[in-house]
C-alpha cells in the first residue's frame, strides 16, 4: 500500500521499518528531519511537510507524542487533513484523548475521508520485533483495508468498535492497568526487600506461578534491577496518559481513586528529576517511602 507516516520516534521508527520490510511504499515525515532521512535507505520518500506526507497516499499513519502534536500536524500548520485524499484513511496510532479522537473522526468525515483509531500495546522492543497488539476502532470495512498493515507490525489486532474513540478509551484503560501493576510490584518489592528476601527470587515466584503475564516479567525485571534508563516509555508520557485517563473518567462520572494515587507518583518522580527515566521509575517512590532508597 501507499503509506504516509508521521512521527518517527522510538515507536514510530520501529513500526515504519517493519512496514517498509513488508514491501509497503512509505512517504515519511518527522519534525527532526534526520530521523526521516534514515528511511531513504529503505526506499522511503522523505516529505518536507506533514501535508506532503499525507498527499496521494492510501493510508496515513500518525504516531506522535500527544494531542498538541497530532492536532498541529493534522489540522494546524501541518494541514495533513487538507492534503489527504477523499477516500483515504487516517490510522491514528498515538495515545491521545478520547475527545481529540472524536474531533478527528468528524474532521475526516466532513472531507469524505476515513478515520481509524489504532493505538498499540507494546514497548519499543516489541515494536521492533513486530509483536505489538493493535486496538482498532472505526468503520469495519476500513479496518479490513488496513489489516495488511497491522499484520506487518503486530502479533494481533483487536477490533474494538465501530466508533474510533473506543480504541482510545481501551488504550488509556490498559495503560492505567500497567501503571497500577508497576505500583503494586514496587510496594510488594519494598516489603520483600526490607524483610531480607532476594527480590529476584520473589519475582521468580510471581512469574512462575500466578503472575506469568508479560507485564509482570517486563516491569518486575526492570524494578528488581533498578533499570530505569534508557527509557522505553518516558515519565512525562506516563503522566500525560494518566491525565487523559482522568479526563475520560470525569466525562463519564467514573471515580478512579488508584489513578489519582498514580498521578501523584508521577508528579513526585518528575519533581525528583526523573523526567528522562522510564515510567516504571515511579517504583522508586515506594522504595524511598520504605527507607530503602534515597531520593533521586
Q: Give the residue numbers marked as catalytic.
A: 171
**Bridge partners for 137 per DSSP:** 117, 161
**Bridge partners for 62 per DSSP:** 6, 92
Based on the number of CB atoms within 10 Å of its own CB, is 78 exposed (0-12), middle (13-18) or buried (19 or more)? Answer: buried
Among 90, 59, 85, residue whose Cα is nearest residue 74: 90
- CA-to-CA separations, 135 to 32, 70, 171, 247, in angstroms, rounded: 28, 18, 7, 20
Among 93, 68, 129, 67, residue whose Cα is nearest residue 4: 93
Q: In this structure, is the dihedral angle defined by the CA atoms of residues 36, 42, 46 and 50, taken in order, positive or negative?
A: negative
Are 127 and 14 spatial neighbours (Cβ–Cβ below 8 Å)? yes
Amino acid at each position: 500500500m501507499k503509506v504516509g507516516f508521521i512521527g518517527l520516534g522510538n515507536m514510530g521508527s520501529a513500526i515504519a521499518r517493519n512496514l517498509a520490510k513488508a514491501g509497503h511504499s512509505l512517504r515519511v515525515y518527522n519534525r527532526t528531519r534526520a530521523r526521516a532521512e534514515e528511511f531513504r535507505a529503505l526506499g522511503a520518500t522523505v516529505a518536507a511537510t506533514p501535508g506532503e506526507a499525507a498527499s496521494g497516499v492510501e493510508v496515513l499513519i500518525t504516531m506522535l507524542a500527544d494531542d498538541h502534536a497530532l492536532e498541529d500536524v493534522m489540522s494546524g500548520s501541518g494541514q495533513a487533513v487538507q492534503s489527504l485524499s477523499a477516500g483515504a484513511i487516517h490510522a491514528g496510532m498515538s495515545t491521545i484523548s478520547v475527545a481529540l479522537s472524536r474531533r478527528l473522526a468528524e474532521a475526516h468525515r466532513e472531507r469524505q475521508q476515513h478515520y481509524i483509531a489504532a493505538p498499540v500495546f507494546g514497548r519499543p522492543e516489541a515494536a521492533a520485533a513486530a509483536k505489538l497488539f493493535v486496538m482498532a476502532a472505526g468503520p469495519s470495512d476500513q479496518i479490513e483495508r488496513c489489516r495488511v498493515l497491522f499484520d506487518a507490525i503486530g502479533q494481533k489486532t483487536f477490533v474494538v468498535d465501530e466508533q474510533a474513540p473506543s480504541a482510545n478509551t481501551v488504550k488509556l484503560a490498559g495503560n492505567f492497568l500497567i501503571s497500577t501493576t508497576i505500583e503494586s510490584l514496587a510496594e510488594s518489592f519494598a516489603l520483600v526487600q526490607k524483610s531480607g528476601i532476594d527480590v529476584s527470587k520473589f519475582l521468580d515466584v510471581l512469574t512462575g506461578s500466578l503472575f506469568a503475564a508479560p507485564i509482570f516479567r517486563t516491569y518486575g525485571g526492570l524494578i528488581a534491577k533498578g533499570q530505569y534508563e534508557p527509557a522505553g516509555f518516558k515519565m512525562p508520557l506516563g503522566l500525560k496518559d494518566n491525565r487523559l485517563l482522568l479526563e475520560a473518567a470525569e466525562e463519564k462520572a467514573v471515580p478512579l481513586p488508584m489513578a489519582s494515587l498514580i498521578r501523584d507518583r508521577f508528579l513526585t518522580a518528575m519533581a525528583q528529576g526523573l523526567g528522562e527515566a522510564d515510567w516504571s521509575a515511579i517504583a522508586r517512590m515506594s522504595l524511598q517511602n520504605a527507607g530503602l532508597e534515597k531520593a533521586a
